[in-house]
Chain A
Amino acid sequence: MSDDRKELNPSARRSFLKSTGAALALGAATAKPTLGVAQTPPAVTPGVAAASAAMAPGYQSLGLEESATTEALVDHMWPADQLSVSGTELGIATYIDRQLAGAFGRGDRLYAQGPFRKGKAQHGYQLPLTPEAWYKTGIAALNTHCTRVHGKAFDRLAGAERETALQAVSAGSANTPAFDLAAWFNGLLYPLFTQGAFADPIYGGNRGKAAWKMIGYPGLPAVYNRDVVAFRGKRHPKSDAPKSIQDLS
């Protein structure tokens, strides 16, 4: 993929945002911490129907600026190269969007009672935000940082500037008193990114099992009672032809 295309899509989106005045409204909405139930479509559940829904174009949770930033993030972190297609083409941005729109994004399983106090990193997540709201607050904070330091939002930066920005973000040097961008990157964005790459394709990422093929994970059905001896120390042929839940459904 050429750099031109990377630049073109987000710019086009940004023009659209500006022309409709949506950018301001969106920014205001996402920057405000809320514990309330996010206004999102119903959760996607596993299964064949979900698999086709996950492949459908478009986003359920992410707005235009958020999706442009997310696509830029996953394309920088999972670039198109000799090993595979780009992160967006692999479906990582779709995966993230579907997780945010579903039960995870709404805070299912998260202990959400106060009081909310600042803890040590070892206490784990302590904010009163749903994961979806935390994600969006982080995207806005990332773009604020990039605009302040590099003069542009993340998706409009060239590769080297993106790298500089992510190094700063992940190491904590882009943290502000109001927002811990490192905790956001390491505790939310990064896990979603690796899940989107390596989870079963029914969730919308790892399209074509490309990430499994890249590393040699054979997937399902994983019945190796004889192979554990027969392929001890040898490359297993199924490493080159992985099967997913959908393949066995």
Chain B
Amino acid sequence: MIKLKEREVVVVGGGLTAGLVSRRLVPAGRDVLVLERGPERAGGPEDELPTQRDDLRWGTYRGLTQRENVETITLRHKPSEQALPMRRLTSFLPGFGVGGAISHWNGQTWRFQTTDYMLRSHLESRYGKASVAALTVQDWGLKYEELEPYYTLFENLFGISGEAGNVKGVKRPAGNPYEPYRSEAYPLPPLEATELGLMFRDAAAKLGYHPFAMPAANASRPYRNPDGMQLGACQYCGHCERFLCEANAKSSAMNLLFPLVRGKPNFELRANTEVLRLQYDKAGQRVTGVIYADARSGEEFEQPASVVVLGAYVFTNTRLLLLSGIGRPYEPATGQGAVGRNYCYQTTSAVQVFFEDKFLNPFMGSGALGTTIDDFNNDHFDHSGLGFHGGAYITANITNGRPIDTRPLPPGTPRWGTKWKEANAKWYLRGAAIGCHGSSYSHRDNYLDLDPDYRDAWGRPLVRMTFDFPENDLKMSEYVTARAHDIAKAMGATNTNPVPRRGLYDARPYQSTHNTGGTIMGADPATSVVSPHLQCWNASNLFISGASVFPQNSGYNPTGPVGALGLRLGEDLLNFLQRPRMLG
């Protein structure tokens, strides 16, 4: 194995975290090397018309996402079962290639609620300890106030289009009245509302709720961010999720972050490098570097580093710790151990709506083009006597009308034949869904570890996911979906069909790429992997960021807090490099 020259900071994973950290460290003169398992992703068919619009290639066949033939994840629903591999990764879509998963995201950009960071304390104090006993939710070990400046910076860098609801404590009626205090309004006005959104807005307001435009990383108009990087205006083409944006209107690491540092002598990005494991000096409680393979030749390299940052997707961050013997693996039988603990997902559901006399034109869409209410999310409503915690935002989004997958049909429609064709012809332009984007709260039996039987193409054990929706979340979904159904009926829909989330967790249909946990943060080393400064308790020069550090998942999309944490990590790394120590 060839031993390479030591680098100052080595980041595993060429996505959002790598981009945000590099943006801070490289101009400050620090040496950064980013290792990305996939290829470069620019100037190719994924990024140009007309091939960018190929629904089969990028949508159905998931041309931009993790190669499950090389490495996948095994699934079982409870600890007593035997896991089987997800032979196709279809229910969520980890990234593959420079830019990471944020290259093919929808752009829905939220701040987590103030109570999310202190969830256990908050719920116990409001509802009593017993009401939270079935869940393993934890506090983050930091407060919203510490993240607020980074949320603001992230929104300004990513040109978020939205309507503020609470600027410096002053409520604004067009925005989200539940949003946490923000120091600045969004940098861009919201996207244009759709026909579906306007109907939803009126019906929700009539029922006493508080509709607003979903905050979007799809630029409502051209924009120049504080770094001088430019965005074009969204074309409402309906090709966000699973696609790159050829109009340069969807914010990502690829178009806003890496161009800032590419070409600088103290920055290097190596694509096609699969990090196999970290080198861990257990006695010294530090890492000394990484071992990676060139994905084109298979040749292995030792890359020494002063500091290692794990900025890969949830499963890779967790697996690299387990493969490298860093930290104590979580055991559900005892509740001991932290690595793999509190794996969570997103509890999504929907109400199909059909309007005989309306043109909804689903093909004119954008990833975060939605009209939304937050009245039934988090702890915005009193949970006394409901038997669950958490909630969901309820939203009328038009993300796409790509017809291979997006052809809503009323229940009872035959699945083939002339009647089915007639239903497609009748409802394609007139059907949609009201979505519920629900929290996923941690449970003792839901966790990640290494699979005893299945291996990846590099010969390493796969990650084994033990997960099913906890009863808490299924009750939440039932309740919130019923509220969404109320709105759907108030919209005057010809036909409605509520579809709350039910168990078992099904690895086949797409639900969301909002997997969280496994390397969670916290103030207590016994129940967390990283400190509130994202520093590994078992290796002081190892930092981990991304949704893998969330102790549970909120009812919001994870990218906002992943962005804020990544920006804050940049500051912490500078601080650490000046004087290495456990940051406090």
Which A residues contact B (CB, under 8 angstroms)?
A: 46, 76-79, 81, 83-84, 104, 107-113, 115, 117, 119-126, 163, 166, 170, 187, 190, 193-195, 198-200, 202-203, 211-212, 214-225, 227-229, 231-236, 239, 245, 248-249
Contact = CB atoms under 8 A, between A and B. Distances in A.
Nearest to A87: B416
Interface of B: 49-51, 53-57, 60-62, 67-69, 72, 75, 77, 82, 84-88, 90, 192, 194-195, 198, 233-239, 358-359, 361, 363-364, 401, 403-404, 407, 415-418, 420-422, 424-425, 428-429, 453-455, 504-508
Given A195-B404, A222-B235, A231-B359, 13 more contacts: A81-B418, A104-B61, A109-B61, A109-B69, A111-B87, A113-B454, A220-B53, A221-B50, A223-B235, A232-B194, A232-B361, A234-B359, A235-B361
17 contacts: A46-B51, A111-B86, A120-B504, A122-B75, A122-B504, A122-B506, A122-B507, A123-B84, A125-B87, A187-B508, A193-B416, A198-B404, A202-B54, A217-B403, A221-B237, A222-B53, A228-B194
B86 A166 contact: no
B364 A224 contact: yes
B82 A110 contact: no
A114 to B, nearest CB: 9
A47 to B, nearest CB: 9
B415 A190 contact: yes
A40 B415 CA distance: 31
Nearest to B237: A222
Contacts of B56: 195, 199-200, 203
A198 B407 contact: yes
Contact of A111 (B85, B239, B359, B429): B85
B69 A124 contact: no
B49 A46 contact: no
A166 B55 contact: no
B421 A84 contact: yes
Given A215-B428, A222-B239, A77 B417 contact: yes
Contact of A245 (B50, B68, B82, B407): B50
A228 B192 CA distance: 7
A233 B358 contact: yes
B355 to A, nearest CB: 10
| 5 tightest Cβ-Cβ pairs between the two chains A and B | A77-B416, A215-B428, A222-B237, A248-B50, A233-B195
B86 A122 contact: no
Contact of A199 (B60, B90, B506): B60
Contacts of A170: 415
Interface SS of chain B: helix, strand, loop or mixed?
loop
A142 to B, nearest CB: 14
B363 A218 contact: yes
A122 to B, nearest CB: 4
Interface hub of B234, B361, B508 (most chain A Cβ within 10 A)? B361
A189 B57 CA distance: 18
A225 B417 contact: no
A174 B146 CA distance: 60
Contacts of B506: 121-122
B429 A245 contact: no
B497 to A, nearest CB: 19
A83 B49 contact: no
A124 B417 CA distance: 26
B428 A216 contact: yes
B239 to A, nearest CB: 7
Contacts of B455: 113
Contacts of B77: 120, 122
A110 B361 contact: no
Given A76-B416, A245-B50, A124 B87 contact: yes
A117 B81 CA distance: 12
A79 B418 contact: yes
A86 B337 CA distance: 60
Contacts of A107: 69
